[in-house]
Amino acid sequence: MAKKSLALAALIALAAPSGVAAQQPVLDAMKAELARSLAALHTSPSPPYFIGYDITEVQEFSASSSFGAITDRGDERRRALDVQLRIGSYAFDNTHARGEFPNFARFFNASVDIPIDDDPMAIRAALWYETQQRYRNAVEQLSDARTNARLRVAPEDSSPDFSRESPERYVEPALVLTVDRSAWEQKLRRYTAPFAQQHDIYGANAFFTATVETHWYVNRRHSRGTARRSNGSARGRSHDHRSPRAPARTDH
């Protein structure tokens, strides 16, 4: 008998996660270390005129099932830090384009993992270390940009490298991921269990993922804030030797 399939889609309406998590330890640590870094680097030969800290926290739960049994589950929480540091001036800084091309080196400063505990000193230590690394890179970039500018006859673009803007402040309560994990695993089992009775079905899978993403951001001009985003999705798929098709999926 030819293998056949029935596409399975887990249709859900995921309620936005509720609950308020303590946000001040993270934001306060960022503000304190920003002030300290600016003061410490103020006396350097090339002091930064702009420093921005961006911390992103992701809380995620995922599970999958096949033929009525849970095949995988994951519960993860992580934080990543990105530092933007500029030295020189608004008109000409370390991000200045070189020749016909922008300074791509600044795009390779990838975000780094930092502690997920709300420990101010641990967070500040991570901020301090990454600030030092970015500052050393910025000094080299500015030197290269100035050398390149001296060798050029005339700049092709006279616009400044950075604009002056009024500071902004926006804060909303941080969220914690609230998901009934056991209930969703039971649903996943129930969605795929019927396929176990069909001997001509060789693959049937269902997946569930719920995510909360929080951003903390501060910069030299004291713009700061907390923003959040929540997302949930479930999808299912089955396999057919005779008529392959794309997985059925719903996102909310």
Interval 88-109 mean pLDDT: 69
Whole-structure pTM value: 0.73
Please answer whether residues 177 and 162 qualify as being in contact, where contact means their C-beta atoms are separated by less than 8 angstroms.
no
Model pLDDT, residue 147: 82
197 DSSP 8-state letter: G
Residue 157 has phi, psi (to 5 degrees) of -130, 115
SS3 47: coil
pLDDT > 90 in the chain, percent: 49
Model pLDDT, residue 56: 95
Q: Which domains does the chain have, with CATH numbers?
A: 24-251 (3.30.2290)
Higher pLDDT pick, 13 / 174: 174
Alpha-carbon distance of 226 to 23, in angstroms, equals 8
